[in-house]
């Protein structure tokens, strides 16, 4: 089983911006739904308050079920924009270009949420912005992924004054309902059963200027944010876990590749990890364990495909590892969690 997270998985309550209004527009009392996850209306009035990420996920799931809205995360995301990010939103809104804005967003996203990471990959032709859940929660994050994707689309459109055209959208879960709902909400149907929640667009858009940005204000905000309390789990093992998720499918995946990304030798990396009470092999095992659960529960990927995505040499090796983690074969695990 994976190591337990020492720090609580938190997210600013602004992630629920628009929730009260949206629920009331459906002629439903939001207070009853909030109370079921230990929240109340008053908590949602202060955007800088933090709640546990599990509370947000459970609230989305309960609301979707009670209102019979399987795409509730998508709908809530349409109510949100840069303002939910608070000081980080103001900062990126005053960057000179989209590239600078996204680099600052990924750098400071932990101020908004410490239970996930944003990764920016700039390739030869395309750019990929990925949302990676860092939490080890064993609950469905289906609606959380929809919410993140919907918010991501809105943010990119707002930053570029709606000039950006997204090449591809990706979600880690399957789609059991009508996919046309995604087209209505996002402008296109995402690719499902992917490794992570992600947005892909042409590299040329990085040069787009941010409308009405203010260099002086950007400088002031940068200094202010640098002094904010850091809620991120800042240690070597956390950084390595993120890189493992990012490069697990890379043909040269291994400690040498991860060490290279951290600008150090493999020996130095292993020494740092030992000081944190873990090893590279243990971290890879943790990442695989958590991703295996997600893919089995959220996606409709075949067991062999999941084995490949987790970079096991063969299906038998994956099965042995899974039985070590959860005590039963992956096939039985998926069946026991099916609704």
Range 283-295 average pLDDT? 90
Contact (Cβ atoms closer than 8 angstroms) between residue 135 and residue 8: no
Taking the C-alpha atoms of residue 247 and residue 257, their distance in angstroms, rounded to an integer, is 8
pTM attached to this predicted model: 0.80
Average pLDDT of the chain, as a whole number: 88
Give the up-direction half-sphere exposure of residue 209: CA atoms within 13 A in the CB hemisphere. Answer: 5
Q: Indicate if the pLDDT at residue 208 is higher than 60.
A: yes
Per-residue pLDDT, averaged over 93-118, amounts to 92
Question: Which pLDDT belongs to residue 303?
Answer: 94
Asked whether 164 and 205 are in contact (CB, 8 A), the reply is yes
Q: What DSSP string runs through 54-105? A: HHHHHHHHHHHHHTT-TTHHHHHHTT--GGGGTHHHHHHHTSSBHHHHHHHH
User: Any residues with CB less than 8 A from the CB of 304 and at least 6 apart, and which?
Assistant: 315
Is residue 61 predicted with pLDDT exceeding 60? Answer: yes
pLDDT value at position 210? 95
- CB-CB neighbours of 255 under 10 Å: 20
pLDDT at 2: 45
Among 125-129, 193-197, 291-295, name the most confident range: 125-129
Instruction: Out of 64-78, 222-236, 247-261, 276-290, pick the least confident.
Output: 222-236
Q: Is the dihedral of CA 74, 79, 85, 88 positive or negative?
A: positive
pLDDT tens digit string along 4-29? 444 567 898 999 999 999 999 999 99
Q: What's the whole-number mean pLDDT along residues 33-57?
A: 89
DSSP secondary structure string, 110-169? Answer: GGTBSSEEEEEEE-SSEEEEEEEE-----S--HHHHHHHHHHHHHHHHHHTTT---EEEE
């Amino acid at each position: 089983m994976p190591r337990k997270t020492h720090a609580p998985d938190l997210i600013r309550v602004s992630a629920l911006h628009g929730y009260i209004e949206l629920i009331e527009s459906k002629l439903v009392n939001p207070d009853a739904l909030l109370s079921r996850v230990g929240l109340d209306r008053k908590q949602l009035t202060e955007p800088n308050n933090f709640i546990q990420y599990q509370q947000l996920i459970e609230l989305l799931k309960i609301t979707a079920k009670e209102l019979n809205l399987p795409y509730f995360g998508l709908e809530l995301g349409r109510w949100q924009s840069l303002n939910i990010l608070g000081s980080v939103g103001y900062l990126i809104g005053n960057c000179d270009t989209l590239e600078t804005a996204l680099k600052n967003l990924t750098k400071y996203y932990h101020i908004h949420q410490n239970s996930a990471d944003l990764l920016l990959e700039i390739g030869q032709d395309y750019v990929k912005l990925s949302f990676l859940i860092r939490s080890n929660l064993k609950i469905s994050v289906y609606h959380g992924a929809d919410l993140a994707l919907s918010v991501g689309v809105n943010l990119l459109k707002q930053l570029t004054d709606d000039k950006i055209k997204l090449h591809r959208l990706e979600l880690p879960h399957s789609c059991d309902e009508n996919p046309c709902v995604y087209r209505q909400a996002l402008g296109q149907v995402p690719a499902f059963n992917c490794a992570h929640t992600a947005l892909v667009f042409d590299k040329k858009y990085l040069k787009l200027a941010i409308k009405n940005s203010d260099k002086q204000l950007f400088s002031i905000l940068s200094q202010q944010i640098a002094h904010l309390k850091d809620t991120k789990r800042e240690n070597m093992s956390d950084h390595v876990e993120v890189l493992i998720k990012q490069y697990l499918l890379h043909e040269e995946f291994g400690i040498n590749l991860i060490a290279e990304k951290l600008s150090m030798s493999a020996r130095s990396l292993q020494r740092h990890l030992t000081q944190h009470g873990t090893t590279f092999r243990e971290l890879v095992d943790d990442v695989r364990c958590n991703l295996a659960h997600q893919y089995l529960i959220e996606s409709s990927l075949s067991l062999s495909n999941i084995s490949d995505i987790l970079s096991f040499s063969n299906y038998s090796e994956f099965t042995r590892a899974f039985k070590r983690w959860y005590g039963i074969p992956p096939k039985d695990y998926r069946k026991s969690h099916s609704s």
